[in-house]
Amino acid sequence: MAKVRPLHDRLLVRRIEEQETVRGGIIIPDSAKEKPQEGEVVAVGKGKVLEDGKVQPLDVKEGDRILFGKYSGNEIKLDGEELLILREEEVLGILETKAAKK
């Protein structure tokens, strides 16, 4: 995949697809699925430039699993893979896994 470094307070995110089945074994067809609102951060910018010229580093880092709004960001296609570029302020939260707590 081509290397992309987002600028400033932007993130490059790979959507994490929801499971194809739900409890009870019902298979959800692709046409009925909504785009996932969870993703893995692939790359981050250097930070937000403040009015005084200082750079505030981002709270989100590469490898984080995040939640974002349904209509957040801009979709791009890079080497055949659909990714999302969004600002850190559009991130609703960082998912903490059990492994990260240890």
Residue type, 38: E
Q: How far apart are CA 66 and CA 71, in angstroms?
A: 15
Question: Given this model, what pLDDT does residue 90 score?
Answer: 92
Q: What is the pLDDT along the chain (102 residues), one digit of tens a residue?
A: 557 888 999 999 998 876 554 556 666 665 555 566 889 999 999 999 899 999 999 999 999 999 998 888 899 998 888 999 999 999 999 988 765 554
What is the pTM assigned to this prediction?
A: 0.72
Question: Given this model, what pLDDT does residue 9 score?
Answer: 92
With vertex at residue 96, the alpha carbon angle to CA 8 and CA 85, rounded to the nearest 5 degrees, is: 30
Domains and CATH numbers, the chain: 10-17+31-101 (2.30.33.40)
The tokens describing 4, both together, are 């992309």
Structural Rg of the chain based on CA atoms: 16
Question: Given this model, what pLDDT does residue 37 score?
Answer: 86
Question: Given this model, what pLDDT does residue 98 score?
Answer: 64
Torsion of CA 11, 89, 60, 33, to 10 degrees: -70
